[in-house]
Amino acid sequence: MAQIKGLLFDLDGVIVDTAKYHYLAWKELADELGITFTLEDNERLKGVSRDRSFEIILEIGNRVMDLEKRRELCEKKNNLYLTYINKMTEAEILPGVNLFLQDAKQKGFLLGLGSASKNSMLILEKLKLVQIFDVIIDGMKVTKAKPDPEVFTLGATLLKLNNQECLVFEDATAGIEAAHQGGMKAVGVGSKELLPEADINIKGFAGITMTDILEAIEMAV
């Protein structure tokens, strides 16, 4: 196995939980359209682009809509979402994440963010985490949604590393698949039941160091 030199993190559900804000914004839009949209339905939107997320909601409601109207409503959803994330603070960083990132940085690992979210920079600014990442790949820099590996392979390229030298941290099946398609190992942030394809699984970052991660990966090989 190639030596791990770079770490690539998804944002939502890994660094911070913005899924609740996505859900509230999508639900508000779905309610306006008379479409019943539940928390269970919201699981299908994990790791999926904004446009595809709205397509799924329309599918749930058996609705068809022209492209221009879809774009208009996607923009409306994003504005609803922005009102929520503009109120975010550092307190919303998930437990253990800050210490884990600092530990990894001190050990010489390069850090990258790989997220489909077009609001990644705004969220990282609110969390005061922009400076810790060596590269930030967001929805403004890629055109293909996960499970396409573009977001992670571009991250590796910008870190000046081979794909195999990068390790991905993901909480969504599409993200795990994207990592593997890019030739990278993937740490599933979530249970083995929810993310069976991950190379190893962690519940979260509290009390975890990169030494623990590397040892677990060695044992899993």
How far apart are alpha carbons 159 and 4 in whole angstroms?
12
Q: Express each pLDDT in 85-116 by its tens digit.
A: 999 999 999 999 999 999 999 999 999 999 98
Task: For the domain covering 6-17+90-220, report its CATH number.
Answer: 3.40.50.1000
Active-site residue 212, yes or no?
A: no
Q: Are 131 and 113 in contact (CB under 8 A)?
A: no
Superfamily of domain 19-85: Putative phosphatase; domain 2 (1.10.150.240)
Catalytic residue among 10, 138, 171, 199: 10
Q: Express each pLDDT in 119-146 by its tens digit.
A: 899 999 999 999 999 999 998 899 898 9
Q: Are 91 and 84 in contact (CB under 8 A)?
A: no
Least confident stretch, 38-47, 52-61, 163-172: 38-47
Q: Express each pLDDT in 176-194 by its tens digit.
A: 999 999 999 999 999 999 9
Q: Are 115 and 139 in contact (CB under 8 A)?
A: yes
pLDDT at 1 over 70: no
Model confidence, pTM: 0.85
pLDDT attached to residue 116: 85
Instruction: Work out the average pLDDT over 43-63.
Output: 90
In sequence order, which residues have a C-beta less than 8 Å from that of residue 180 and are 6 or more positions away? 186, 197
Sequence spans of domains, the chain: 6-17+90-220, 19-85
Active-site residue 12, yes or no?
A: yes
Instruction: Tell me, letter by letter, the H, E, C secondary structure of the chain.
Output: CCCCCEEEECCECCCECCHHHHHHHHHHHHHHCCCCCCHHHHHHHCCCCHHHHHHHHHHHCCCCCCHHHHHHHHHHHHHHHHHHHCCCCHHHECCCHHHHHHHHHHCCCEEEEECCCCCHHHHHHHHCCHHHCCEEECCCCCCCCCCCCHHHHHHHHHCCCCHHHEEEEECCHHHHHHHHHCCCEEEEECCCCCCCCCCEEECCCCCCCHHHHHHHHHHHC
